[in-house]
Amino acid sequence: MLRLFETFLETAPQLTLVLAIMLQSGRAEYYQWVGICTSFLGISWALLDYHRALRTCLPSKPLLGLGSSVIYFLWNLLLLWPRVLAVALFSALFPSYVALHFLGLWLVLLLWVWLQGTDFMPDPSSEWLYRVTVATILYFSWFNVAEGRTRGRAIIHFAFLLSDSILLVATWVTHSSWLPSGIPLQLWLPVGCGCFFLGLALRLVYYHWLHPSCCWKPDPDQVDGARSLLSPEGYQLPQNRRMTHLAQKFFPKAKDEAASPVKG
């Protein structure tokens, strides 16, 4: 979780800043393109790594397979790129107003997180620090923070960010003459639009056919090796209490299953 927080509090804003500077100057070096691509890959990898870490804390939840991990990584990458590009375009045009834009959306997202009643931290001050950080993540990408079905909340967040990104791009279209012509923005926008729809399609494919819950059996075969030599009563998986608590919040249906004895 700390690595994920660092990614969205440091890497994502720096990536947006670099793109905005490139758009303002109208030129970029090759090593800057390499750094931008690496940053996008790192952010998407942090999301995948955190999701896999949550599942390892609950024995009742199946781990992501290779194919599911690849699709999960790709749809996060493809949906993140258009969002960062839209914010960078607005930052390049109106650098003095981007802080106001971020603050306005961040307050709305913070209110939304508060209304969901998160209770991950041991005291109120730490909980508000957590909410503040999560609101920053939601400015760029989806992040689940409450129990229950996530489909409705994910659709609301998706529609909110999509509407905001469309407004930012529309602002650039009406003021595109303000930026230098060295960067092929007329090519970037169609590519960004294509990446968005491709990422959306991959997300639907993941949740309909590749999610572990779609093909996992509740009573798997006995595992070969040293673990099979231990009795269910004498064996207990090593756990990190905080991560286990977060995992149970992320997967509320697994609470009772995780508390029951290990099967098989």
211 DSSP 8-state letter? S
Q: Is residue 72 part of a domain?
A: yes
Q: Is residue 78 part of a domain?
A: yes
Q: Is residue 180 part of a domain?
A: no
- Note down pLDDT in tens along the chain; length 264 residues: 889 999 999 999 999 999 998 888 877 788 888 999 999 999 999 999 998 888 888 777 778 888 889 999 999 999 999 999 999 989 988 888 999 999 999 999 999 999 988 888 888 999 999 999 999 999 999 988 877 677 888 889 999 999 999 999 888 878 766 666 556 667 778 888 899 999 999 998 888 887 766 654 443 332 222 233 333 444 455 566 777 777 777 666 555 555 555 544
Q: Is residue 229 part of a domain?
A: no
Q: Is 59 exposed, middle or buried (CB count within 10 Å of its CB: 0-12, 13-18, 19+)?
A: middle
- Domain range spanning residue 81? 1-148+157-167+192-210
Coil, strand or helix at 182: coil
Of 215, 232, 234, give the one whose Cα is nearest residue 223: 232
- What is the count of structural domains for the chain? 1
Q: Which residue has the tokens 């508000």?
A: 128
Q: Is residue 227 part of a domain?
A: no
Q: Is residue 70 part of a domain?
A: yes
In angstroms and rounded to an integer, the radius of gyration of the C-alpha atoms of the chain is: 21
Q: Is residue 92 part of a domain?
A: yes
Q: Is residue 90 part of a domain?
A: yes
